[in-house]
Amino acid sequence: MPILSRIQLGKAGVTENFLTTLKSHFKNHKDVKISVLSSAGRENIKKYEQQILESLGITYTARTLGFTIAVKKWRKPQR
């Protein structure tokens, strides 16, 4: 089973279609790296990270590095 998957987040931001795609990636992968387009704006990256974590639930964590959001799925809920 591949551990890492990569998807891209565009100017439209976190949409229902994006969240559906993200959830489907977690069926086969443990980690997903989300590349945020620079045209989306640096100030919006933390907002996108919070929206993604709210929609996925408490068994996921995220870390932002530059224009990349790394999301990890855990077996047990994280604080």
Tell me which of 18-27, 39-48, 51-60 is least confident: 39-48
Residue 79's pLDDT band (cuts 50, 70, 90): low
CA angle at 51 for the pair 2 and 33, rounded to the nearest 5°: 25
Does residue 59 sit within a domain?
yes
Instruction: Give the domain range for residue 35.
Output: 4-73
Cα 36 to Cα 7: distance, rounded to the nearest angstrom: 9
The amino acid present at 16, given as its one-letter code, is E
Give the pLDDT of residue 33.
97
CATH number of 11's domain: 3.30.110.60
> Residue 52: inside a domain, yes or no?
yes
Strands, DSSP E only, in the chain?
A: 4-9, 31-36, 60-65, 68-73
Residue at 79 is within a domain:
no
Token digits of residue 60: 């996921």
Residue 62 lies in a domain: yes
Dihedral sign (CA 72, 33, 62, 12): negative
Provide the β-strand partners of residue 31.
4, 72
Total domains, the chain: 1
